[in-house]
Amino acid sequence: MIRVTVPATTANLGPGFDSMGMALSQYSVFECEANDVIDVSIEGLESEKLKIEDNLVINCMNKVFDYIGKYPKGYKLKIINGVPLARGMGSSATAIVGGIMCANALMNFPLSDEEMLSLATEIEGHPDNVVPALLGGMIVSTKTGGGEVIYRRIDIADDIECILFIPDYEVSTKDSREVLPKEVSISDAVHNSSHLALLVMGFLNNDKALIGKVMDDKIHEPYRKKLIKSFDEFKEGAIQAGAFAFSLSGAGSTIIAYSDEKNSCKVKIAFDNIADKNGILGKSVVLKPCSRAALCEIN
């Protein structure tokens, strides 16, 4: 039996639009074994919303079979979903990585990590969620003009905690990308490139004051904010409660604050109070960054 465990991810971290992401300590699990026929079951979080027809995990398994030009007779697949859907926590990246890793293990590991990465990026369209979902940790990544996915990991301090408010309402990545401008001004581009460079320095040096100053974006969050209920109030509440930084998680609807361990409970309570006051249904959670890569166990 193959058992693949893939972490949720938060992408963008403010100015790192489509290029920065971090794995989080919440996971989806995919169990797979050879079988005479294809037999798929889905359970776990929001599993009622996931369909076997046109399923992303199965589609990604098929991409691997097409890529290597070999097909199994059948397989048994159990998807145990642990990442809420369309909330900006990388649910599609977990499905893509889970499918690719299951198929790779089922076919006796023909693909290298680099091949899995480039297949996953090709399917997702951008590397910011899939690379940390596969490799764990905080990652800055890009696709070069030649199509190569390059990335570097940032080893971050282990006292950082992430406080997320996950609203019940969904925001699809498609809708959240449609509100973005087609072009950005030079001043906004400079704002983002300078802020992202300093954000990386901030995480590398565990300089939380710097991280707080530069986790600020001008090319997607200002446009997406209108899709996110009480975004500014959550941000202000998180900072007042002791978080050192705040951003939209991926394309939303989840928002994420960064805090050291001593303040994370206060930030969580602040999120709950703001949600209550504004009648926003959802759930707040405290997660740790996940430094471990997606895990493939064979029993």
Q: Interface with ligand HSE by CB under 6 A: which residues?
A: 11-12, 17-18, 126, 128-129, 173, 176-177, 250-251
For residue 146, the 8-state DSSP code is T
Query: CA-to-CA distance for 122 and 268, rounded, in angstroms?
Result: 36
Of 85 and 265, which CB lies nearer to ligand HSE in the complex structure?
85
Adjacent-strand bridge partners of 274: none
Q: How far is the CB of 270 from ligand HSE (least distance, A)?
A: 25
Q: How far is the CB of 238 from ligand HSE (least distance, A)?
A: 20
Q: How far is the CB of 203 from ligand HSE (least distance, A)?
A: 18
Classify 101 as helix, strand or coil.
helix
Of 12 and 26, which CB lies nearer to ligand HSE in the complex structure?
12
Query: CA-to-CA distance for 91 and 12, rounded, in angstroms?
Result: 15
Q: Is the peptide bond before 264 cis (omega within 30 degrees of 0)?
A: no
Angle 217-223-229 from CA coordinates, rounded to 5°? 100
Nearest of 56, 130, 67 to residue 95 by alpha carbon: 56
Q: How far is the CB of 12 from ligand HSE (least distance, A)?
A: 5
Of 173 and 259, which CB lies nearer to ligand HSE in the complex structure?
173
Of 177 and 288, which CB lies nearer to ligand HSE in the complex structure?
177
Q: How far is the CB of 210 from ligand HSE (least distance, A)?
A: 23
**Is 129 in contact with 93 (CB distance < 8 Å)?**
yes
Of 104 and 176, which CB lies nearer to ligand HSE in the complex structure?
176
Q: How far is CA 299 from the centre of its chain?
A: 28
Q: How far is the CB of 9 from ligand HSE (least distance, A)?
A: 9
Query: CA-to-CA distance for 291 and 25, rounded, in angstroms?
Result: 9
**Is 101 in contact with 30 (CB distance < 8 Å)?**
yes
